[in-house]
Amino acid sequence: RDLIATLFGRFEQRMLGLLRADIGDDAGIEDAWLFLHLVFEVIAEYRFIYRDLTELCSRDRGLAQRVRAILKLSLGTADGLLRALQTSGQFEASADAREALVRSIVLVSSYWISFDQVLEPDCEPRPDRAAWQVMSLVSPFLLGEARIQFDAIATAYRS
């Protein structure tokens, strides 16, 4: 239990550092992609947390609160990133569509590693594939140059 608490503390510190970083109003598609890749690298490093998140949280109420706080901050960060893209004219979605997209982003971000490890049990986690998967959720809402940038980055990530 002490080991889990220590490792979770390290994970939490790294995630909070990323999630609290100032995105800025001029964030672009490349910024979003890099941010996601960095988040997924941390998740891959601390993947034991995500293997059975429900079980881990049911054993320790304090840990469950900390996980909830990270998830709530993740929702806020994803919304902030989409708002920045919308403000800069790179993204267009209604408030309802953006809210649904934010939840989908955090959902996929939270469970991609379990999916990947069941699908390919002998492979290492692929943060690049997770970033591509999340950005694929965003891509239908991208406009103009942002869509062109997405296609170029997606092609690079798939090759």
What are the residue boundaries of the structural domains of the chain, listed by start? 2-158
| Virtual torsion, Cα 151, 120, 101, 63, nearest 10 deg | -140
For residues 140-145, average pLDDT: 96
- 91 bridge partner residues: 142
- Residue 20: Cβ-neighbour burial (10 angstroms; 0-12, 13-18, 19+): exposed
pLDDT tens sequence across 29-72 = 999 999 999 999 999 999 999 988 899 999 999 999 999 999 99
Residue 38 CB contacts under 8 Å (≥ 6 apart), including other chains:
18
- 142 bridge partner residues: 91
pLDDT band at 22, cuts 50/70/90?
confident
CATH number of 2-158: 1.10.357.10
